[in-house]
Amino acid sequence: MIIENKKSLYIKEGEEISKFLALIGASKAVMSFEDIRIKKEMRGKVNRIVNCETANLNKTINASIEQIEAINKLKKNGKFNNLSENLKEIANLRLENPDMALSDLGKKLSKPVGKSGVNYRLKKIMEIANGK
């Protein structure tokens, strides 16, 4: 987008700025400007990736906390022993490994299951703890 008035020229897009600098023969300025643009773009990408990873980590931690609270609730009210062996095993693994990913928990089971199998079992435990 180029906006002109009698005394100034305003160029908004980076690509257009580079073209203008090249047009007036400022090749060093073009290279410097492009270097700045590339660094800024890379910083933005890194920040987006970090933000996404942080959000995923927070989600995992919050889910683990809820699961541990449900397991402790079942132990406190004496319902833990009524769980099936599969549910007891995953519950104990979760207590021992509060920050472990579901897929890794599944690998540690006596009969390994995938992420969805672990998720199903932990949801079942939470449902029982919440009286559903």
Instruction: Report yes or no on 68 lying in a domain.
Output: yes
Q: Per residue in 39-58, pLDDT tens?
A: 999 999 999 999 999 998 89
Instruction: Report yes or no on 100 lying in a domain.
Output: yes
Stated as kind and residue range, the H or E segment containing 9 is strand 9-11
pTM above 0.95, yes or no: no
Residue span of the structural domain in which 115 resides: 59-129
Instruction: Report yes or no on 73 lying in a domain.
Output: yes
Instruction: Report yes or no on 81 lying in a domain.
Output: yes
Task: Look at the chain and report how many structural domains it folds into.
Answer: 1
- In this prediction, the residues of the chain whose per-residue pLDDT falls under 50 are none
Stated as kind and residue range, the H or E segment containing 113 is none
Instruction: Report yes or no on 117 lying in a domain.
Output: yes
Tell me the C-alpha distance between 75 and 81, whole Å: 8
Q: What pLDDT is attached to residue 8?
A: 79
Instruction: Report yes or no on 91 lying in a domain.
Output: yes
Answer whether 125's CB lies under 8 Å from 71's CB.
yes
**How many CB atoms neighbour CB 125 within 10 A?**
22
Q: What pLDDT is attached to residue 53?
A: 93
Selection from 51, 21, 58 nearest residue 36 by Cα: 21
Instruction: Report yes or no on 63 lying in a domain.
Output: yes
